[in-house]
Amino acid sequence: MTPFKIRPWAITDLDSLVQYANNWNVAKNLTNKFPFPYTEKDGRSFIALANQDNPVHLFAIEVASQAAGGIGIHPQADIYEKNAELGYWLAEPFWGQGIVMRAIPEILDFAFSTYLIDRIFARPFGTNLASQRVLEKAGFVLEGKFEKTLYKNGEYFDELVYAVRRKNWPPPIA
């Protein structure tokens, strides 16, 4: 198993962030807030954003002493205040090694112990089968499918909504 750790972003991560984030295979499954191409300016802005809140809730996934991805919790507001969105990405060279599957429970433990939330949700593209599998393995349940609601690069995609509830976390050991 590939070792990793979750930690706050640092300006020293800039080179690896730009190297790994500047990949269409990563960006195509994320919102347009994750730009492609991904520049040094984008990286500097993101690292500043990731460190502006207290507590920090946007983290680097470190693999082999490099920031090789990101994972974070986005607390919601107003009538959604008991919810938080989970977001993540991982550099393509590290796909298929179980890193995100092992990182998600760490972030969920952090989120449920830090925020007064009852639900954490994630919204993968309908075409992102790997992300759907990793969410299901982490105990998320498919709550809904919205056909052709996402629009990226001139194409429509289905949006799936997966969630896990505080009362069901952690999941029972099989």
Q: Would you state the structure tokens that stand for residue 56, as one six-digit string? A: 């920090």
Reported pTM:
0.95
- 171 and 139 in contact (C-beta within 8 Å)? yes
User: Considering the domain boundaries, does residue 105 fall inside one?
Assistant: yes
CA trace torsion 93, 94, 100, 103 (10° rounding): -130
Res 67 pLDDT > 80: yes
pLDDT in tens, 126-162: 999 999 999 999 999 999 999 999 999 999 999 999 9
Query: For residue 13, what is the domain's CATH number?
Result: 3.40.630.30
Res 172 pLDDT > 80: no
CA distances 70 to 50, 107, 151, 156, Å, are 10, 11, 23, 25
Domain hosting residue 121, numbered range: 5-168
The neighbour count for residue 104, using CB atoms within 10 Å, is: 22
Phi then psi for 48, rounded to 5 degrees?
-65, -45
pLDDT in tens, 75-120: 999 999 999 999 999 999 999 999 999 999 999 999 999 999 999 9
Count of structural domains within the chain: 1
The neighbour count for residue 29, using CB atoms within 10 Å, is: 17
User: Considering the domain boundaries, does residue 174 fall inside one?
Assistant: no
Q: Would you state the structure tokens that stand for residue 144, as one six-digit string? A: 């809904």
